[in-house]
Structure 1
Amino acid sequence: MPAETRRVARVVLLDPDDRILLLHGFEPANPSDHWWFTPGGGLEGDETRERAALRELAEETGITEVSLGPPLWTRTCSFPFDGRRWDQDEWYFLARTTQTATDQTGLTELERRSVAGLRWWTSAELLATRETVYPTRLAGLLRTLLDEGPPSVPLVLAPEIV
């Protein structure tokens, strides 16, 4: 992994009805270029991935009443955003919550310029949407997770280069 690869922790947050929480992001210079993605972000200092997942979730959604589960998936990705290329090594953690009210006052300056909101999605809504969702196989991965439970070891997803 190159030294410039950003280490990221993401959260597959499920509510009591098995809905997943996704953020609605967009390119700051081109708001018509938009997508949905899981909460999460880069590790700070010597922070563990688990700690980063919980911190990012709290900052981006205001949700702190969380039971963090195991890592589900890992992937590498590379994409242009806000005038630069981001190379990331991402781990996705399962988490459960009964807290469905959200608060986005903890967003960073960049997130305030690039996040249009968030919403809870059912598996059926995710499977039916024509909107862009990252990771691109999230609908099927979520359906498998709900049907079979977490994998015994994290699944390595195919790299995504945009």
Structure 2
Amino acid sequence: MSDKDLRAYRPNVGVVLIRPDGKVWLGRRARTPGPLNWQFPQGGVDGGETLEEAAFRELAEETGVTSAEIIGRTEGWIAYAFPADHGGSKAARGWKGQKQAWFAMRFTGEDSEIDLEAHGEVEFDAWRWVDLDSALETVVAFKRAAYEQVIAAFRPLTLSPSRPGAPPAG
């Protein structure tokens, strides 16, 4: 998609939070019927904010997590369009979809840090640690192609030396 085409897409960041054992964090969207209502933290970029700042802010607002470090980032924008019947507030404001910069972050804290009510507006009502590829099974269909790109980009970062398929240490 050209830069001109992307102007109608809302700037957004996404975060894949990775534990040292390679499992990734998924949250269940609050007030969203299942089963395709699990996703990674994501959100808009505020004016004057860098993409990195937005990623850390969104992660903290949606999960309570502040113990994380950036270990990877996707190249360019990964975009998805809202379906025609999507009634969300972003579509109502004229956005065709979202263009996202994705960040892989290593979780350096403890599970007790996770607080879904850390911010006034609750985005997720449940969470779990999963294998990266399983995120495709529970994300809403219109985000699936974007998730395929994110998963392909970050898969090497989820492979610890003790896991099958991990690259050799060194």
What is the TM-score of this pair, normalised by structure 1? Answer: 0.70
CA separation of 1:140 and 1:50: change in aligned 2, threshold 3 A = closer
Amino acid in structure 2 at the alignment position of 1:82:
G
Of all paired residues, the percent bearing the same amino acid is 27
Aligned counterpart, 1:116: 125
The answer to which of 33-42 and 4-13 deviates more is: 33-42
**Deviation (angstroms), 1:61:** 0.6
CA separation of 1:81 and 1:68: change in aligned 2, threshold 3 A = farther
> Partners in 1 of 2:6 and 2:104 — Cα distance?
27
**1:105-149 deviation line (CA, Å, top 9, x unaligned):** 23453xx3x63322111246x17x743357425478547634x44
Task: Answer yes or no: is the 8 Å Cα contact 2:6–2:99 preserved in 1.
Answer: no
> Partners in 2 of 1:88 and 1:77 — Cα distance?
6
Structure 1: stretches of 5+ with no match in the other structure: 151-162
RMSD of the TM alignment (CA)?
A: 3.1
**1:53-103 deviation line (CA, Å, top 9, x unaligned):** 000001111110111123125311122253662521111111101323310
> Partners in 2 of 1:5 and 1:122 — Cα distance?
29
In terms of fraction of residues, the more strand-rich structure is 1
Match of 1:106, SS state, is coil
> Partners in 2 of 1:92 and 1:38 — Cα distance?
10
2:87 pairs with 1:95 = no
Larger radius of gyration: 2
> Partners in 2 of 1:140 and 1:47 — Cα distance?
25
Aligned counterpart, 1:67: 69
Amino acid in structure 2 at the alignment position of 1:71:
R
Match of 2:74, SS state, is strand
Aligned counterpart, 1:160: none
Query: Of 32, 53, 56, which residue of structure 2 is paired with 1:54?
Result: 56
CA separation of 1:81 and 1:121: change in aligned 2, threshold 3 A = farther
2:15 pairs with 1:11 = yes
**Deviation (angstroms), 1:4:** 4.6
Q: Which runs of 4+ in 1 moved over 6 A?
A: none
CA separation of 1:13 and 1:32: change in aligned 2, threshold 3 A = closer
In terms of fraction of residues, the more helix-rich structure is 2
CA separation of 1:75 and 1:67: change in aligned 2, threshold 3 A = same
**Deviation (angstroms), 1:24:** 1.0
Q: What is the count of residue pairs matched by the alignment?
A: 142
What is the TM-score of this pair, normalised by structure 2? Answer: 0.67
2:138 pairs with 1:131 = yes
Amino acid in structure 1 at the alignment position of 2:127:
L
